[in-house]
Structure 1
Amino acid sequence: MDLDGLLRNQAGVLSHAQALRCGLAPRTVSRRVTDGRWIRVLPGVYRVASHRHGDEARVRAAWLWLGGNAVVSGPAAAYWHGMLDVAPPTVQVTIPRTEHRGPRPGVTVRRRTLDPADRARVRGIGITGPPLTVLETAVALDAGSAFLDRALQRHVRFAEVHRAYSRMIGSRGSRRAGRLLAAAADTAGSDAERLMVALLREAGVRGWVLGHAFGPWTIDLAFVDARVAVEFDGWAWHVDQVRFANDRRKGNALVGAGWTLLRFTWHDLTTTPALVVAQIERAVSAAA
């Protein structure tokens, strides 16, 4: 490929080795850096000054710097796979344990020897495969459970992610990854119920019952005197059409009978528990 074609394909960034393979002499590369036509963004990696240093260029540059056996990983890999709309400010690259490279501004280096099943090549760069990418990104993000739920709906199957988790046990982040997968596996109902009960008891909220009968349905948690119903929506990725429709019929019936209906997800309970409790207290107080 000629130099112009290479730069078009790589968002305006290239390595020193690539420049030489395109026929440029080392002194030509140095001259282009000296006169400002090329900008050194990482050791041995340049950006053409006329190209914007956007997300794609940053991710490509990080991989070109480390190259070889390196793979882009974590949220930067999720961006590359189309799971996130933007790349993180710092690009994580994973290299084998036998290699020793330190971080650079905008790039963090993680040393871990990956199983071949966890490696992929996408649009010209080495990258973690989708299942491991999902796990590592869910661990890295504050809203990791919400990200995992979306990924299971759109990008990966649970069994694939679980196999990737089995391969990462013992590595950094594997404990949180295991908790997220355990919550996603069966759960939503029983785990959310236990967590909600703990939150209400800790806040001193009383007057609720679990599993209150209402017509042909059961309300997950009910303040019967105040006619406030609390329902747990759980993980969207494994809610089938029948359950979805039944939940909506139950909700409509509750509202029609004069109940206040509050719906919370696992993500609500784990990321904004104080807000959940406050909403419940306001609804019960208003009904009283």
Structure 2
Amino acid sequence: MFAAQDGVATRQQLNAAGVSDSMIASRVDLDEVTLIGRGVFRTKHHPHTDRTAIRVAGLLSGGVADRATALFWHGMITEPPAEIGVTVPIERRLRATYGYVIRTRRRALPASDITEVDGVSVTSKALSVLEMADAKVMDRALQQSDVTLEDLGDALDRNANAKGIAAARAVYEIASGDTESEAERIFAALLRLHEITGWTTQLTFRGWRIDFAFPEIRLAVEINGWAFHRSRARWMSDQDKANALSTAGWAVLHFSWHHLTDDPEGVVTLLAEAISGRVAHSIVS
């Protein structure tokens, strides 16, 4: 039992498996098993991992792993959470964590947003993604088909009055819109803000269109929205266009919605360096 549960088991689970209290006590006396607290035991024959800590937190709190903790447990992110997050019933108070860093939130979750994975209660993939309110997390989850926009929309409706859901809704509304057009609008606004000239949009090149082109210095800037919107056919076409531009002596920069929203100054700096380099190149040529 311990091996199947990351080295952790409750007294109730052990009793159900035929292990008596006296047998448990003897293993504790032999220092083979440690009582963590609240009837939760850990065997010393199994390494203490991030999964061990999350399982212990769930058992100690009687709650549901949420947000980054849930995403890690679902296998949707690889980085374990800095602190274990659990949602507990409103009336529940966790008075002792026995050395584990546990962040509790008291809230009644809709049954549809609770699932069990490997014996641990966690928030659903959709709610876990939403509550991160992180565009990159949502984009990756959609791209990998862990969730759909419909899943996210349904979870939003079920949790419409939850604290903090407004931030999740804002990210969802971006995802459900035309992120590529929005990214192009943001980039154009940056060009105007920094008084960068010499560009045109949707320049035709060998049957393709360049999102933003600086024709005099042969610099092309391609703008992408969220990754989940891009099909393989579109991706292949973009590669063919970039190769054709490069062969024709153009330099090509690629910026995504995330680049433009997370680091707009970095985008402008890189663009300015590229323009300077192309101007110098054209003078030499």
Same fold (TM over 0.5): yes
> 1:211·1:220 contact (CA, 8 Å) conserved in 2?
yes
Letter in 1 for 2:135: S
Q: Which moved more, 1:210-219 or 1:118-127?
A: 210-219
Deviation at 1:262, TM superposition (A): 0.5
Deviation at 1:102, TM superposition (A): 5.4
Deviation at 1:246, TM superposition (A): 2.8
Aligned to 1:59: 54
Aligned to 1:264: 255
> 2:181·2:225 contact (CA, 8 Å) conserved in 1?
no
Aligned mates of 1:76, 1:238 — CA distance in 2? 27
SS in 2 for 1:225: helix
Aligned mates of 2:26, 2:214 — CA distance in 1? 75
The structure 2 residue matched to 1:197, chosen from 188, 195, 198, is: 188
> 1:15·1:65 contact (CA, 8 Å) conserved in 2?
no
SS in 1 for 2:176: helix
> 2:180·2:226 contact (CA, 8 Å) conserved in 1?
no
Q: 1:201 and 1:170, CA in 2 relative to 1: closer, same or farther beyond 3 A?
A: farther
SS in 2 for 1:210: strand
Q: 1:86 and 1:103, CA in 2 relative to 1: closer, same or farther beyond 3 A?
A: farther
Is 1:234 aligned to residue 225 of structure 2? yes
> 1:42·1:62 contact (CA, 8 Å) conserved in 2?
no
> 1:55·1:86 contact (CA, 8 Å) conserved in 2?
no
The structure 2 residue matched to 1:131, chosen from 111, 126, 134, is: 126
TM-score under structure 1 length normalisation = 0.84
Aligned to 1:78: 71
Aligned to 2:203: 212
Aligned mates of 2:195, 2:205 — CA distance in 1? 26
Deviation at 1:266, TM superposition (A): 1.4
Q: Which moved more, 1:277-286 or 1:148-157?
A: 148-157
Unaligned runs of 5+ in 2: 280-285
Q: Which moved more, 1:151-160 or 1:193-202?
A: 193-202
> 2:225·2:257 contact (CA, 8 Å) conserved in 1?
yes
The structure 2 residue matched to 1:121, chosen from 91, 107, 116, is: 116
Is 1:48 aligned to residue 43 of structure 2? yes
TM-score under structure 2 length normalisation = 0.85
Deviation at 1:253, TM superposition (A): 2.5
Q: Which moved more, 1:201-210 or 1:161-170?
A: 201-210
Aligned mates of 1:113, 1:235 — CA distance in 2? 32
Unaligned runs of 5+ in 1: 1-5
Deviation at 1:95, TM superposition (A): 1.6
1:112-169 Cα distance to aligned partner (Å, 9 max, x none): 21111111111112111221122224x2xxxx32222221122122211221122223
Q: Which moved more, 1:56-65 or 1:27-36?
A: 27-36
Aligned to 2:142: 152
Is 1:97 aligned to residue 90 of structure 2? yes
The structure 2 residue matched to 1:163, chosen from 154, 162, 171, is: 154
Q: Which moved more, 1:197-206 or 1:264-273?
A: 197-206
Deviation at 1:198, TM superposition (A): 3.0
Q: 1:172 and 1:225, CA in 2 relative to 1: closer, same or farther beyond 3 A?
A: farther
Q: Which moved more, 1:225-234 or 1:239-248?
A: 239-248
Q: 1:181 and 1:48, CA in 2 relative to 1: closer, same or farther beyond 3 A?
A: same
Aligned mates of 2:124, 2:53 — CA distance in 1? 19
Alignment coverage as a number of residue pairs = 275
SS in 2 for 1:263: strand
